[in-house]
Amino acid sequence: MSSLNPDRGALLRALAILSGALAVALYCWGLLQVLGAALEAEDGGTDSAPVRPCRTAGPQERGGAEVVDYSVGYVPLRFVCETRGGGSYATDSVPGYVNPGAFGFALAGGLLAVGAGYEAELRARRAATPPGEQTGTTS
């Protein structure tokens, strides 16, 4: 096995931090979208029924006429309109790339952090082994 580059651990840690930061940024962007929709839903007045974020151009049952309430989901991020009769549907308030992107970056960041830890363990084992001794062989 060839020796690992001493900077590989630092690179893996930097990539893990970058990936984690991108996951947090995407999640915050989606959270802003959900909170904006919730603020718009809470805005009372003449044009407040049905709830504005629940007004969609689609089938009649999703047109907003039967919407009685809404809820917000945080994992995954979504704005859900609740209809009369117990039904519900998620609106497109959160862009479609936010939830999978945040999950993907978080997963990649976690895997990169594990890889950085593994590389540090390998480096520590190499440093602890005397130069003339082979590891893992018995006669």
pLDDT tens figures, 80-98: 888 888 888 888 889 999 9
What confidence category does residue 2 fall into, taking pLDDT thresholds of 50, 70 and 90? low
Q: Determine the Cα–Cα distance for residues 58 and 51; give it in Å rounded to an integer.
A: 16
pLDDT tens figures, 97-134: 999 999 999 999 999 999 999 998 888 888 888 776 66
pLDDT confidence of residue 114: 95
pLDDT confidence of residue 56: 67
**CB of 77 closer than 8 Å to CB of 89:** no
pLDDT tens figures, 4-29: 545 788 899 999 999 999 999 999 99
Pairing of strands 88-90, 77-83: antiparallel
Mean predicted confidence (pLDDT) in 21-40:
94
Radius of gyration of the chain measured on its C-alpha atoms: 25
Q: Determine the Cα–Cα distance for residues 20 and 112; give it in Å rounded to an integer.
A: 10
pLDDT tens figures, 57-77: 444 445 545 777 888 999 899
What's 75's DSSP letter?
T
Pairing of strands 77-83, 67-74: antiparallel
